[in-house]
Amino acid sequence: MPYSNERANRLGHVPTVNNVAVQNAFSRWVITTAQTGDKSEIASLCRSLDSLPEGDKSDQVSFSITVDGSDQEVEVTREHPTIKTGYLRVAGSFVDLKNLQAAGCSAFVDPVLLRNAHQESSFDAALPGSGLILAGQSGVDTWRQEVTRFLSDTRFDDESQRTLADAILSMHGRPGQPATSIDLNVCPTCGGKRIEGVALAVTLSGGKCSKCGSALYLGDILRSHEEYSPEGSNITALTRVMNVAERLMTLSFMEHFYESQLAAEVFKQTIFITDGPLALYGTLAPLKRKLQSYHDYLSAWGSKKKLLAPLLVGIEKTGRFVEHAELIADRIPAGNVMLLTTAYINRVTGRPSGNDYGVDEFYGRRFILRTTSGDPLVITVPPKPGVLPYVGPGAEDFESYPLLRTICEVLDQVRTRLFPNAVIPIALAHSAAALPLGVGHSVLRAMAQRGLGLPQVSQQPRHPSVGFSR
């Protein structure tokens, strides 16, 4: 590792480039996503949209609710770069799809219709990184308390009293019947385990470990404190909180609609879009079972109402599968959708052939949709109740995904050329959620300095030759 302001030799890379061992290594490797297989294999995994099981009519879908988030970790001062704070923003974007389509029907886009077709709301939060604590508390306990405060104080919508903490209880219950308490598996303080008889129940107001008597917090359910670092970066833990906040915001909308008198009509007309796959990773992974259970209950309720609900889809903007979709797009006929089997996924990601991909993380299955205009979209769609997306009977059958056709037909109508392979609801949600780099990074740092009572130093990096001597 270099000293501060130490610069490498401009030709320091030359020996590495000329090294025979390095050159031989590259000659041995192949790119996993480039192993596309032949056209017949891809064709066997594709179905045209009009051949899929028919769901609710896509022309009944009038609204979209899309949730996206951004996070950023900044050093509080350049003199002490190990002291960090994290910021996150989660935004919900509401689009009236009928007004959106009407705005572009004439020779010129109608700006009034276009503006009225879109509304957005967002919430922001700051979380402590390494070197920032509550007085008298350790770093990890500070993190636990601040995550819980964020969940308890953040409402999913300005006009509702429902918080993200309420959404966690709803996720552990069923639509309209939230859980009153949740049992942790392990005490964050003493390590006492529920399977060993330790009582670890937590409610909105918290709880207490029966073994050590230490306080328990609702935010402990996320287990993000297990990835907290008292000395290094906490971007992973911050991203975990952001990811679950996105899911909780979507679930809050569903719960809000479910409790309305027009619930069936609202669900029939609304598609819920998540930025990224329908999956939770790392310490959040166990929560995917709770999300899947909640959606299964909601789907069973919809069946009694003669509708398919909720229309839920995850859309990926970047990543390995997006790159692979672009690579094989010309092998998927326009207006077709490709089901990615586990064997196919394992091959293009370099995993062992018998790997159980996605079993622990996903509550939906990945597909590649090639729209009628030829754009490839990587989407995740939940299966019908009783089917798990990546394991067990029906997981790789198109018939197990009754929402697929309706979702694909809706997405085909909301494409945009603002960005490659993009859809309008995701683009609008990301615009509302994005935390800018560059100047934005400097502003967030200055905000932390002001809030902590530190002197606000220059936000521009100083060249060693113009710095003050000490």
Condensed to tens digits (0 to 9), the pLDDT of residues 336-383 reads 999 999 999 999 899 998 899 999 999 999 999 999 999 999 999 999
Condensed to tens digits (0 to 9), the pLDDT of residues 50-101 reads 999 877 678 899 999 999 999 999 888 777 788 899 999 999 989 888 887 7
- What average pLDDT does the structure give for the chain? 87
Condensed to tens digits (0 to 9), the pLDDT of residues 13-48 reads 788 888 889 888 888 887 776 666 677 889 999 999
Q: Please count the other Cβ atoms lying within 10 Å of the Cβ belonging to residue 357.
A: 20
Statement: residue 457 has pLDDT above 60: no
Domain ranges for the chain: 40-124+232-451
Rg (CA), the chain: 24
Q: Residues with Cβ < 8 Å from 258, sequence gap 6 or more?
A: 175, 176, 267, 298, 301
Condensed to tens digits (0 to 9), the pLDDT of residues 144-174 reads 999 999 999 999 888 889 999 999 999 999 9
- The predicted structure's pLDDT at residue 462: 35
Contact 269, 60 (CB under 8 A): yes
* Residue 67 vs residues 88, 89, 228, 245, 466: alpha-carbon distances, Å: 13, 11, 25, 10, 45
Show the CA angle centred on residue 359, arms to residues 355 and 360, nearest 5°.
115
- If pLDDT is split at 50, 70 and 90, which confidence band does 445 have? low
Which range, 257-261, 347-351, 385-389, has the best average confidence (pLDDT)?
385-389
Condensed to tens digits (0 to 9), the pLDDT of residues 320-339 reads 999 999 999 999 999 999 99
Statement: residue 280 has pLDDT above 90: yes
Cα–Cα distance, 300 to 297 (Å, whole number): 5
- The predicted structure's pLDDT at residue 439: 44
Q: Is 180 exposed, middle or buried (0-12, 13-18, 19+ CB in 10 A)?
A: exposed
Condensed to tens digits (0 to 9), the pLDDT of residues 88-102 reads 999 998 988 888 777
- If pLDDT is split at 50, 70 and 90, which confidence band does 456 have? low
The lowest-confidence range among 81-85, 128-132, 196-200 is 81-85
Cα–Cα distance, 353 to 156 (Å, whole number): 42
Statement: residue 1 has pLDDT above 70: no
Residue predicted with more confidence, 117 or 377 = 377
Cα–Cα distance, 132 to 449 (Å, whole number): 12
Residue in the block written with tokens 């300095």: 449
- If pLDDT is split at 50, 70 and 90, which confidence band does 469 have? very low
